[in-house]
Amino acid sequence: MSVRTKPRREQIESAEALYERMRADAQSDHPGIALARGEVVRTGWRGQLQARLHFNLRRQLLALGAVLMGASWGIGKLASAWPD
């Protein structure tokens, strides 16, 4: 939602419902959602798991490198075990 344009009615209603839920969660012992850097995030163990599983570009490249290294190692092992 931009601050330069007037929000649509459904955007206002959605934001009001979100803030109402956040107020209710704040009064409970285990709040379920919060705002972080302008985004709605989960709290508790689900939030920690979600944050750990979020793959930014760096994590994606590291994962791709690990997969490619493992694949080349496996192909090398197969090639060396292949009978001539």
Q: What is the pTM of this model?
A: 0.47
For residues 56 and 69, is the Cβ–Cβ distance under 8 A? no
* pLDDT tens-place string over residues 14-24: 989 988 988 88
For residues 42 and 33, is the Cβ–Cβ distance under 8 A? yes
* pLDDT tens-place string over residues 54-67: 778 888 899 999 99
User: How far apart are alpha carbons 60 and 56 in whole angstroms?
Assistant: 6
* Cα R_g (the chain), whole angstroms: 23
User: How far apart are alpha carbons 32 and 5 in whole angstroms?
Assistant: 30
Domain layout of the chain by residue ranges: 1-53, 55-84
